Structure 1
Amino acid sequence: MNENSMLEMGSASLGRVEIAPEVIEVIAGLAASEVDGVSSMRGNFASGMVERLGKKNHGKGVRVDLSDDAIKVDVFILVKFGVAIPKVAQNVQDNIRQALLTMTGLQLSEVNVHVVGVQFDSKPEQEFPADH
């Protein structure tokens, strides 16, 4: 299978169920972004433009690979300054695995977490008098 193919789940008596990779991306993106310590997901230019136009792209920062009968998910996150990155990454992996198992019944072969940045809290600058 490749990225554009549908994931088929069989059911002998009722027919088949197909899950698009985009569905897996959305579930994984939402599961990753709800973990404490994750500041945001890394998107690309196209997803940024979509969000500016008023639509949310919940799959941003997520790549799904459906090849060799294995499901691999790569997530690209920014973490908050001061968090334990290995712990946050483990929680992201666990949350994505559990969300996909609960919602789709699918077992992932890999969940790779790529920490691409650290988000620092921006403090408002203090205003000084003009004559200072």
Structure 2
Amino acid sequence: MTNTQTNNHQENSIQKELNFSDKVLEKIASQTAHSIDGVLSLNGGAISNLTDRFIDNPTKGVNVDNDDDKLSFELKAILEYGKPAPQIFDRIVNSIARSVKEMTGKEVDKITLNVDDLMTNAEWKKQQSGNSKNEEAKETE
């Protein structure tokens, strides 16, 4: 029993600090949101779209404000047409809050979802195949 108390005392005397970059927090939110049925894409603004042509950006469409351990996320998304956006949003909020808490120990204070578009799965797939053809054409020029 004395050893246990000593070990606890030693652990308590160590100052601990665990920090996460905004990119890590954004990545957790992005990957979590992408796993929700009804979320077709998270998309950023024009500058984000420009840089994404050259690099794979796993945090596209997600911004975090990390102020005094109060985390606020803002997401821009394309949702699937015909599916209930409020229910999708509730799943996004609950899943992101749970994932962030499990992986970082931090509490999420606010999540904002801006829906930029609604598309059917067929429209989404057609747009994606068109985008990849456009990218291939630009790379061969």
Report TM bin, short chain.
Answer: 0.7 to 0.9
Q: Which secondary structure state, in structure 2, belongs to the residue aligned with residue 58 of structure 1?
A: coil
Q: Specify the SS of the correspondent of 1:19.
A: coil
Deviates more, 1:59-68 or 1:92-101: 59-68
Code of the aligned partner of 2:105: G
**Cross-structure match for 2:23:** 22
Q: Is residue 102 of structure 1 aligned with residue 107 of structure 2? A: no
Q: Contact between 1:93 and 1:113, CA under 8 Å: does it hold in 2? A: no
How far the C-alpha of 1:68 sits from its partner, in A, is 4.8
**Structure-to-structure mapping, 1:8-87, within 5 angstroms:** 13=14, 15-53=16-54, 55-87=55-87
SS in 1 for 2:44: coil
- In the superposition, the TM-score normalised over structure 1's length comes to 0.75
Structure 1 or 2: more strand by fraction: 1
Q: TM-score, normalised by structure 2?
A: 0.71
Q: Aligned pairs, how many?
A: 113
Cα distance in 2, alignment partners of residues 12 and 104 from structure 1: 22
* Aligned Cα root-mean-square deviation (Å): 2.1
CA drift at 1:12 = 5.6
- For 1:40-98, what per-residue CA distance to the aligned partner results, in whole angstroms no more than 9, with x for missing partners? 00222333334332x32111111111225421111111101110110001111111111
* 1:13/1:48 CA distance change after superposition, 3 Å: same
Q: Does 1:89 align with 2:89?
A: yes
Structure 2 unaligned blocks of 5 or more: 1-11, 127-141
Three-state SS of the structure 2 residue aligned to 1:17 is coil
Letter in 2 for 1:16: E
CA drift at 1:117: 1.1
- Give the direction of change, closer, same or farther, for the CA distance of 1:34–1:108 in structure 2 (3 Å limit): same
Stretches of structure 1 lacking an aligned partner (at least 5 in a row): 1-10, 125-132
- Rg: which structure is higher? 2
Shift of 1:38: 0.3
Deviation, 1:15, is: 3.3
Q: Equivalents in 2 of 1:27, 1:69: separation in Å?
A: 16
| Structure with the bigger percentage of helix | 2
Q: Sequence identity, in percent?
A: 25
